Structure 1
Amino acid sequence: MSARILVVDDVPANVKLLEARLSAEYFDVMTASNGTEALALARRAECDIILLDVMMPDMDGFEVCRRLKTDPATHHIPVVMVTALDSPADRNRGLEAGADDFLTKPVSDVVLIARVRSLTRLKMMTDELRMRAITSLEIGMQAPERSAVADTGKGGRVLLVDDRESSYQRLASILAAEHTVDVEPNPTEALFHAAEGNYDLLIVSLDLNNFDGLRLCSQARSLERTRHVPILAIAEAENSTRLLRGLEIGVNDYLLRPLDKTELLARARTQIRRRRYTDHLRDNVQNSIEMAITDALTGLHNRRYMESHLATLAEQAATRGKPLALMILDIDYFKSINDNFGHDGGDDVLREFAVRVRKSIRGIDLACRYGGEEFVIVMPETDLHVAGMVAERLRRSIAGEPFTVHKGTKRVEVTISIGLTTLEQKGEAVADVLKRADMALYRAKHDGRNRVVSHAA
């Protein structure tokens, strides 16, 4: 996979070495010799991952990382600190600044490339979500960047999978200071537990007795309900090969024993923050999709959705040899409602009308706002006789009780006219069915309104 890697280091020899390593793996490499230059490149969205030295003259790597992670425009870019500093305090300082990893020089080619590839996959997934979520901003939904920057990463739900009591007791006691922690000592039950628990982070020991921890990680990645839960693996120092394999199959981060308390908490916070951010992006995407096919006022499907979905329902009905009923409903004298009660009163009527429609039809039926005060209901596997009974019941529901408007201060009598038909001829065009229902509606209104008129196929 190709990605743009920004190498930030003030020592030319270090830059050339990293550039050679990464270019050999077909990554596109760009460089910066100081923090100011790096920040400018990142803000222009010219890189996918940043490899950042700590010791630089104008601005050290900790400050560069902190600025990247507190800027809504750059906080989502993965940052790996690559430095000669090797103390736990330095590592924790880097993680607290927001770094996704902290690698101490000399870094083996295998470890470096595995980490870059892992973060590249993560970045590409995030970029795809960000691109899809642009529509959400265009329709007025709040962007998640600022809340992501302010997120502390605390208060998450963590599932710890470890079958050594002394180990999981210590880990759980550390994590409990910031998160809600569940422990699953039985690896065979862990996947079910993870799928049911709606967790923000899955921590897996790779040193389980009689069970392959990497297999559990792989299964979590293949299961729909746990596919997006970040995984933090824990292993003994001599298990570095397995850890690298874990990064290939989807492990997000790892820790080596003996564990440092501060580092554990810092890495957990990083993963939970990222999980919340991507979840927010997914929610925005889903909401924008729903808004694109939903009428904002009534909550029913809109005409665009109806026209595309009706064709599918008609095809299914024809294939299975089942009837399909369709009715067009029109609120009688709706213009006078707007004239007498204002457009806000008319909106109140439309909202309540949608509620009554939902109560009168089945879950498999399709109810749409066709435009203005016209609505369409499509009823699969329903013949003309049954559809007529439903239509009459709906007509009585509307006419039988006045609608309240202006927060209940006024009441208005409402009636509807309904045109009804069915699709029973295989291959009949959907447009012809709609036209036939519309002709029936015209007759209903012409004959005095507040009635149901059927037009047989």
Structure 2
Amino acid sequence: MDSRKLLLIDDDRLQARIVQQQLKAFHGEVYAFEWAATYEEGLQRLLSGEHTACLLDFQLGPRDGLELIREAKEAGCEVPIIFLTAESSSSIDIEAMNAGALDYLVKGEISASMLERSLRYALKLSETLAELKRLATHDALTGLLNRREFNRILAEETERAKRFGRDFSLVLLDLDHFKSVNDTHGHPAGDAVLRETARRLGGLMRKVDRLARFGGEELAVLLVELDAEAARKLATRIVEVVHGTPYPLDEDGKELTVTISAGVAAMPHHATTAKALVQAADKALYAAKSNGRDRVEVAE
């Protein structure tokens, strides 16, 4: 099994040698050691996402580790960081934790066992925090974004579109006659239909698109830099993919034909605010339902 990568960002060559020797004395996990001696090199390596954890020195020439943590976090870095400093200071300790460090060690007091424990603790805490973040932003049943997170992203994209004059589109989707699925086949079958629909739609999305469970049997898709016509084509493809292949109901081979309706609205053609865009797409979705379901309608 490949060893994990540990990055040390520290301008002290002696400290790099000490950490390298301490890693060899670990009793559990094996780490491949990498050292960056400057702020710029350290930040670049940290943002590569290749490292399991990072040890970061407080003093880095004219700049410091607190600044580096903040810059890395703003760039989306999720690597667990353990802060190192030459002397104990409660103020630095608190600042480091507030900036995003997961633990704090004083250089002169670090032993191999202490470093191993700190890395174990930081990795476990990082996993826990990542799971809490996922639970706060994703739907538990489908694994898609939840409505609150989708609304946050929609608001951000609306502001970005206004600032740079870019189009984007919203597609609201609703599974047809979903209540009858639950009533006839039971709620586990309804849950399975939702999960399978999420899986099928996920296969149609680009990396920049955002797919969410908007509520109940309703889904939402945010399509970055796509106008209404391009969004209509994708929504048509979604409708085809949903009704094109029956959904498996159980291990006995029973299947269910599922259809979905879609409403499309685009920014800024149909709306100039996030709220108005949702209303326009919802109105188009209602038209799709009224006109026979299993179809796409674009906002007027």
Q: Given the two structures, how large is their TM-score scaled by the length of structure 2? A: 0.72
8 Å CA contact 2:211–2:222 kept in 1: the answer is yes
Percent of paired sites with the same residue? 29
The one of 30, 36, 52 aligned to 1:180: 30
Displacement after TM superposition at 1:441 (Å): 1.5
The one of 225, 228, 248 aligned to 1:404: 248
Q: Corresponding residue for 2:135? A: 291
Task: Report SS of the residue matched to 2:149.
Answer: helix
Shift in CA distance, 287/180, structure 1 to aligned 2, threshold 3 Å: closer
Residue identity in the other structure for 1:405: L
Task: Report SS of the residue matched to 1:286.
Answer: helix
Q: Corresponding residue for 1:327? A: 171
Counterparts of 1:345 and 1:181, CA distance in 2: 46
Counterparts of 1:376 and 1:184, CA distance in 2: 43
Residue identity in the other structure for 2:52: N
Residue identity in the other structure for 1:229: I
Shift in CA distance, 176/283, structure 1 to aligned 2, threshold 3 Å: closer
8 Å CA contact 2:270–2:277 kept in 1: the answer is no
8 Å CA contact 2:194–2:217 kept in 1: the answer is yes
Shift in CA distance, 426/321, structure 1 to aligned 2, threshold 3 Å: farther
Superimposed CA distance per residue, residues 280-327 of structure 1 (whole angstroms, 9 cap, x where no aligned partner): 334323322221221111111111122232222122222222222112
Task: Report SS of the residue matched to 2:81.
Answer: coil
Larger RCO, structure (CA 8 Å, separation 6 or more): 2
Residue identity in the other structure for 1:253: V
Shift in CA distance, 408/419, structure 1 to aligned 2, threshold 3 Å: farther
The one of 304, 314, 337 aligned to 2:158: 314
Superimposed CA distance per residue, residues 149-187 of structure 1 (whole angstroms, 9 cap, x where no aligned partner): xxxxxx9987899978xx87x946971566636577996
Q: Corresponding residue for 2:97? A: none
Counterparts of 2:271 and 2:233, CA distance in 1: 26
Q: Corresponding residue for 1:13? A: none
Q: Corresponding residue for 2:82? A: 229
The one of 428, 432, 435 aligned to 2:276: 432
Task: Report SS of the residue matched to 2:173.
Answer: strand
8 Å CA contact 1:422–1:433 kept in 2: the answer is yes
Counterparts of 1:303 and 1:181, CA distance in 2: 40
Q: Which has the larger radius of gyration?
A: 1
Q: Corresponding residue for 2:101? A: none
Counterparts of 1:450 and 1:429, CA distance in 2: 28
Counterparts of 1:159 and 1:422, CA distance in 2: 45
Q: Corresponding residue for 2:98? A: none
Displacement after TM superposition at 1:396 (Å): 0.6
Task: Report SS of the residue matched to 2:261.
Answer: strand
Q: Corresponding residue for 1:393? A: 237
Displacement after TM superposition at 1:340 (Å): 2.3
Displacement after TM superposition at 1:332 (Å): 0.9
Shift in CA distance, 191/365, structure 1 to aligned 2, threshold 3 Å: closer
Q: Is residue 347 from structure 1 mapped to residue 201 from structure 2 by the alignment?
A: no
Shift in CA distance, 407/183, structure 1 to aligned 2, threshold 3 Å: same
Q: Corresponding residue for 1:273? A: 117
Q: Which runs of 5+ in 1 are unaligned?
A: 1-154, 205-212, 234-242, 257-263
Counterparts of 1:302 and 1:185, CA distance in 2: 40
Counterparts of 1:157 and 1:428, CA distance in 2: 47
Task: Report SS of the residue matched to 2:203.
Answer: helix
Q: Corresponding residue for 1:302? A: 146
Counterparts of 1:318 and 1:186, CA distance in 2: 40
8 Å CA contact 2:53–2:123 kept in 1: the answer is no
8 Å CA contact 1:200–1:272 kept in 2: the answer is no
Q: Which runs of 5+ in 2 are unaligned?
A: 94-103
Shift in CA distance, 305/407, structure 1 to aligned 2, threshold 3 Å: farther
8 Å CA contact 2:271–2:277 kept in 1: the answer is no
Counterparts of 2:26 and 2:142, CA distance in 1: 45
Displacement after TM superposition at 1:419 (Å): 1.3
Shift in CA distance, 248/455, structure 1 to aligned 2, threshold 3 Å: closer
Q: Corresponding residue for 1:377? A: 221
Counterparts of 1:311 and 1:448, CA distance in 2: 32
Superimposed CA distance per residue, residues 222-244 of structure 1 (whole angstroms, 9 cap, x where no aligned partner): 3547872354x9xxxxxxxxx54
Number of equivalenced pairs: 271
Displacement after TM superposition at 1:359 (Å): 1.3
The one of 317, 338, 357 aligned to 2:201: 357
Displacement after TM superposition at 1:252 (Å): 1.8
8 Å CA contact 2:23–2:112 kept in 1: the answer is no
